[in-house]
Chain A
Amino acid sequence: MSDVSLNFQDHVSPQTTGGEVQDYVALLKPRVMSLVVFTSVVGLALAPGPIHPFLGFVAVLAIAVGAGASGALNMWFDADIDGAMQRTAARPIPRGRVSKDEALALGVVLSAFSILVLGLATNWIAAGLLALTIGFYLFVYTMWLKRKTPQNIVIGGAAGAFPPMIGWTAVTGTVSLESIILFLIIFMWTPPHFWALALYRCRDYTRVGVPMLPVVEGPDSTRTHILVYSVILCAVSLLPAFIGLGGVLYLFASSALGAAFLYYAWQVYCVRHGDKADKTAKRLFVFSIFYLFALYLVLLLEGIVPGIMMPTGFDFKV
């Protein structure tokens, strides 16, 4: 064999040299994955009925990988605008570390594997919900709504709300009222969370033509929307205490956290000019992450720590 034939397979075009392993990990949006893992664990832990611990672990792993796959597919489709936005310019595709084709391949393969593994390890209803989540995030949110309507995040937010429901269904094999309420909390949390971000990243979205609410209807209308959705979120977050999913501790925690959320939303509503307006929006954005984490943590603790759960006395579940 000649030297030429020996080296033949090392010939590459500049676009296909590939990135480091961590570049592919970054395609999976690890920070989003961590929230998905946590909320799906809560859904899984609160669901009535047994699940083998290893299968429970596999279910959470599959949901996390499915969420990561959605992230890779989102970065594949949005590569053109990601490079022009300050917040996303450092992602692997805009930086030239990973090609679009690689991101697409990774997303498709991981989607298929995560759905297959979840179906085999638990049940096919949970796997179907995971498929729905990935499909919804890619086709409905990323490809359709994101660049078309300021309501993008309201409807598209459903994709991020599914994980606790998938966790619940992995155990029970059904979608019940409790899992729908776990879904609704994240569904109502997503708009004020992202609109707070969009308020101080408005220029980014304007530059790339993504019709986020502050771009289309202006910051003042966005502030009103944030306040209205925050009130609805606080009301929805109390529901677990009224159907036996959360106890007295949850009722107090959700009331206190809700009051704090409303305070930050009110601050955003009132402070409308200058750097201080951006700061209040940032504060709400950061607090909203803590809010969701704390809310679900209290639910989890009441569900798994014996003796903590004290029924509220309200049980309106039909």
Chain B
Amino acid sequence: MRFMKEDEVKKRNRRSIVIGLILLAFAILFYAITIIRLGGDVFNRPL
């Protein structure tokens, strides 16, 4: 075991940002797919 070097920490941060953005895009993708597949019926359901 050793301490991470500065450039390794930077690389890890960049990877974390990209993973976060991909997860965000994935959530938006799922939301959009759901709305499109359900169409207008999404607002026409018993609450």
Size band of the B side of the interface? 10 to 19
Tell me if B27 counts as interface (CB < 8 A to partner A). Answer: no
If A7-B3, A18-B15, A21-B14 touch, does A12 touch B33 (CB 8 Å cutoff)? no
> How far, in angstroms, from A13 to B8 measured CA to CA in the complex?
12
* Least CB distance, B20 to chain A, in whole angstroms: 12
- Quick check: A11 and B37 within 8 Å, CB to CB? no
Interface size on A, residues (CB 8 A): 20
Q: What residues of A have a CB within 8 angstroms of the CB of B4 in the complex?
A: 10-12, 17
Q: What residues of B have a CB within 8 angstroms of the CB of A24 in the complex?
A: 15
Interface core residue of B14, B26, B29, B37 (most chain A CB under 10 Å): B29
Residues of A with Cβ closer than 8 Å to B? Answer: 7, 10-14, 17-21, 24, 52, 54-55, 58, 113, 117, 120-121
Residues of B with Cβ closer than 8 Å to A? Answer: 1-4, 8-9, 11-12, 14-15, 18, 26, 29-30, 32-33, 36-37
Identify which of B3, B18, B29, B37 contacts A10 (C-beta below 8 A): B3
Q: What residues of A have a CB within 8 angstroms of the CB of B26 in the complex?
A: 113
The 6 nearest A-B residue pairs measured at CB = A11-B1, A17-B8, A10-B4, A121-B33, A21-B18, A12-B4
CB contacts between A and B, total, < 8 Å: 47
Given contacts A11-B3, A17-B4, 16 further A-B contacts (CB under 8 A): A7-B3, A11-B1, A12-B1, A12-B4, A13-B1, A17-B12, A18-B8, A18-B11, A18-B12, A19-B11, A21-B18, A55-B36, A55-B37, A117-B29, A117-B30, A120-B33
24 sample A-B contacts, Cβ–Cβ < 8 Å, listed by A number: A11-B1, A11-B3, A12-B1, A12-B4, A13-B1, A14-B2, A17-B8, A17-B11, A17-B12, A18-B8, A18-B11, A18-B12, A19-B11, A52-B36, A55-B33, A55-B36, A55-B37, A58-B29, A58-B33, A113-B26, A117-B29, A117-B33, A120-B37, A121-B33
